[in-house]
């Protein structure tokens, strides 16, 4: 993890938020390469979901009517048990003490549960994870609103708007990508648990009785999505929630977990939420949230199958999964260590790098022309400094799948060398085929 965090900063994937002021706990900024990778993750998800004829997109506001969070159960139930150490003042989630370390520097490496056993902790208190703020100039209870702790509720309250405007019928889904905020007691493990993060949620509305079938369908599809973008099957697993651990709204729930360097961690949850959400919004708003089927003349409250992925957590899984240190030959036949990010080409922040072998003989002009031509379709990087071997290493480290080099042969036959990141195999292609070559590989 330390190597990855330092690569992220050095190469511009992720920076600490407000770093020059000492940072803000649980908040991170995406740098030039990070923002491309994150956009690509979200784009892949959005395309996978909304290219289906039975899924519509939406972008709901972050601030919502406060009654939404009463109906959803968040005001009452979205709490974590919190304890404080009376001695060092560190704060812990009472249900996560097993993994926590004592906050006192004098006892470095000491496990927090030892302090607990010695009676240093306060009683557990429930702490609501929603961030509260106020609309308008007066900070009074009547103007309090919450930063949404999940994007799902924006979908539920718009169920009938989307259904009637897009003329969908259950089974159909609504997809949304957006920021969510949780005032986590302990943020940790880099991007894994942050206070501000992005979710990619798709809520699928189905007729009661067909919910189990659709639940199994989406559980499989979501696992396939991660596998299809290159994550190894040995690093992914399902974790089924035991009946006594199910959330108050759920009939069944599976997490998709990724094996991070610190252990298995949830990257997506798939839940059978029954008719809980729509029924509660109907009850709290007084507005009917039922669907009327014109053909069968049935009126019913759809069940919801939720697929809820963290964009930031998925980003981190793709990042961790891509990182390798490998032996690679140098140009003079010796072996050296190369750091490679084996991103799926569609996720890679930069798709191709263009190098003139030397900065003379007309090579830079041809290389710049090629760069301009490719830039119209892809994110490209131009590099003319240092030995080509070093330029390859710099691109390997950020996961650029293709490097195109203009050399003396280009001047004779208008071909370029394409070097593929994972195999390091080089081949020659016509310069006029370069854009088509990259495009084909991205969609292979
Ligand atoms: P956890 O048990 O890890 O707190 P959760 O079960 O509360 O997660 P959900 O409410 O199901 O998570 O949220 C759906 C997804 O949103 C999670 O799978 C995760 O990818 C992401 N997510 C939730 N909380 C955070 C957070 N604090 N930081 C980053 N991503 C998060």
pLDDT tens digits along 53-99: 999 999 999 999 999 999 999 998 888 888 888 888 888 888 888 87
Tens-place pLDDT, residues 11-57: 999 999 999 999 999 999 999 999 999 999 999 999 999 999 999 99
Q: Does the Cβ of 170 fall within 6 Å of ligand 1?
A: no
Is the minimum distance from the CB of 45 to ligand 1 under 6 angstroms?
Answer: no
SS (HEC) of the chain? CHHHHHHHHHHCCEEECCHHHCCCCCCEEECHHHHHHHHHHHHHHHHHHHCCCCEEECCCCCECCHHHHHHCCHHHHCEEEEEEECCCCCEEEHHHHHHCECCCHHHCCCEHHHHHHCCCECCCEEEECCCEEECCCCCCHHHEEEECCCCHHHHHCCHHHHHHHHCCCCCEEEEEEEEEECCCCCCECCCCECCEEEEEEEEEEECCCCHHHHHHHHHHHHHHHHHHCCCCHHHEEEEECCHHHCCCCCCEEEEEEEEECCEEEEEEEEEECCCHHHHHHHHHHCCCCCEEECCCCEEECCEEEEEEEEHHHHHHHHHHHHEEEEEEECCCCCEEEEEEECCCCCCCCCCEEEEECCCCCCHHHHHHHHHHHHHCCCCEEECCCCCHHHHHHHHHHHCCCEEEEECHHHHHHCEEEEEECCCCCEEEEEHHHHHHHHHHHHCC
Q: Which of 48-57, 102-111, 173-182, 389-398 has the lowest average pLDDT?
A: 102-111
Atom of ligand 1 nearest to the CA of 311: 20
Higher pLDDT, 272 or 136: 272
Residue in 78, 153, 197, 201 to alter for ligand 1 test, most ligand atoms within 8 A of Cβ: 197
| Cα 83 to averaged position of ligand 1 atoms, centre (Å) | 21
Q: 267 CB less than 6 Å from ligand 1?
A: yes
> What is the pLDDT averaged over residues 159-167?
96
pLDDT at position 173 is 98
Q: Is 349 in the pocket of ligand 1 (CB under 6 A)?
A: no
Where do the domains of the chain lie? 37-63+152-318, 350-442
Q: How far is the CA of 129 from the centre of ligand 1 (A)?
A: 12
Residue among 69, 131, 256, 310 whose CB has most ligand 1 atoms within 8 A, to mutate: 310
- Ligand 1 centroid to Cα of residue 310, in Å, is 6
C-beta of 215 in contact with ligand 1 (< 6 A): no
Instruction: Find out whether the beta carbon of 194 lies less than 6 Å from any atom of ligand 1.
Output: yes
pLDDT tens for residues 338-349? 999 999 999 999
**Predicted local distance difference test score (pLDDT) of residue 89:** 80
- Ligand 1 pocket test, pick from 72, 80, 308, 317 with the greatest ligand atom count within 8 Å of Cβ, gives 308
Q: What is the pLDDT of residue 136?
A: 85
pTM listed for this prediction: 0.92
Tell me the mean pLDDT in the region 233-262.
93
Categorize the per-residue pLDDT at 318 as very low, low, confident or very high, splitting at 50, 70 and 90.
very high
Residue with CA nearest ligand 1 atom 29:
193
Percent of the chain with pLDDT over 70: 100
At residue 393 the predicted structure's pLDDT band, cuts being 50, 70 and 90, is very high
| CATH number attached to the domain at 37-63+152-318 | 3.30.930.10
The CATH number given to 350-442 is 3.40.50.800
Task: Write down the pLDDT at residue 142.
Answer: 77
- Percent of residues, the chain, with pLDDT higher than 90: 78
State the average pLDDT over residues 173-182.
98
Q: Does this chain's domain 37-63+152-318 share its CATH topology with 350-442? A: no
Q: Best of 96, 155, 178, 199 to mutate for ligand 1, by most ligand atoms within 8 A of CB? A: 199
Q: Is 268 in the pocket of ligand 1 (CB under 6 A)?
A: yes
Q: Atom 2 (ligand 1): residue with closest C-alpha?
A: 266
Confidence of residue 391 (pLDDT cuts 50, 70, 90): very high
């Amino acid at each position: 993890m330390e190597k990855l965090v330092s690569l992220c900063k050095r190469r511009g994937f992720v920076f600490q938020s407000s770093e020059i002021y000492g940072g803000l706990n649980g908040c991170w900024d995406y740098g030039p390469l990070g923002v491309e990778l994150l956009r690509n993750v979200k784009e892949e998800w959005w395309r996978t979901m909304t290219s289906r004829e039975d899924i519509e997109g939406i972008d709901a506001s972050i601030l919502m009517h406060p009654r939404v969070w009463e109906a959803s159960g968040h005001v009452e139930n979205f709490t974590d048990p919190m304890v404080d150490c009376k001695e060092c003042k560190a704060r812990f989630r009472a249900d996560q003490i097993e993994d926590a370390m004592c906050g006192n520097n004098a006892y470095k490496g000491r496990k927090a549960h030892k302090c607990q056993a010695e009676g240093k902790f306060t009683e557990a208190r429930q702490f609501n994870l929603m961030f509260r703020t106020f609309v308008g100039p007066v900070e009074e209870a009547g103007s309090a609103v919450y930063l949404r702790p999940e994007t799902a509720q924006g979908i539920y309250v718009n169920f009938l708007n989307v259904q009637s405007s897009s003329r969908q019928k259950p089974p159909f889904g609504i997809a949304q990508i957006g920021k969510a905020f949780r005032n986590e007691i302990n943020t940790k493990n880099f991007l894994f648990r942050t206070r501000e993060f992005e979710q990619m949620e798709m809520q699928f509305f189905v007729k009661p009785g067909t919910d189990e079938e659709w639940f199994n369908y989406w559980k499989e599809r979501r696992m396939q999505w991660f596998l299809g973008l290159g994550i190894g099957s040995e690093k992914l697993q399902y974790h089924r929630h035991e009946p006594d651990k199910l959330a108050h709204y759920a009939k069944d729930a599976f997490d998709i977990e990724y094996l991070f360097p610190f252990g298995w961690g949830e990257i997506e949850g798939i839940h059978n939420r029954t008719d809980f959400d729509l029924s509660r919004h109907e009850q709290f708003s007084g507005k009917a949230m039922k669907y009327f089927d014109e053909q069968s003349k049935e009126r019913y409250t759809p069940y919801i199958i939720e697929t809820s992925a963290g964009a930031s957590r998925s980003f981190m899984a793709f990042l961790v999964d891509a990182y390798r240190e490998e032996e690679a030959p140098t140009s003079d036949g010796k072996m050296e260590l190369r750091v490679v990010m084996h991103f799926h080409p569609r996720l890679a922040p930069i798709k191709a790098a263009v190098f003139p072998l030397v900065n003379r003989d007309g090579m830079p002009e041809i290389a710049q022309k090629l760069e301009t031509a490719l830039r119209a379709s892809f994110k490209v990087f131009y590099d003319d400094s240092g030995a080509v071997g070093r330029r390859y290493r710099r691109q390997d480290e950020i996961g650029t799948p293709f490097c195109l080099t203009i050399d003396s042969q280009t001047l004779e036959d208008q071909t370029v060398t394409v070097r593929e990141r994972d195999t390091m195999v080089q081949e020659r292609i016509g310069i006029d085929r370069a854009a088509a070559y990259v495009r084909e590989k991205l969609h292979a």
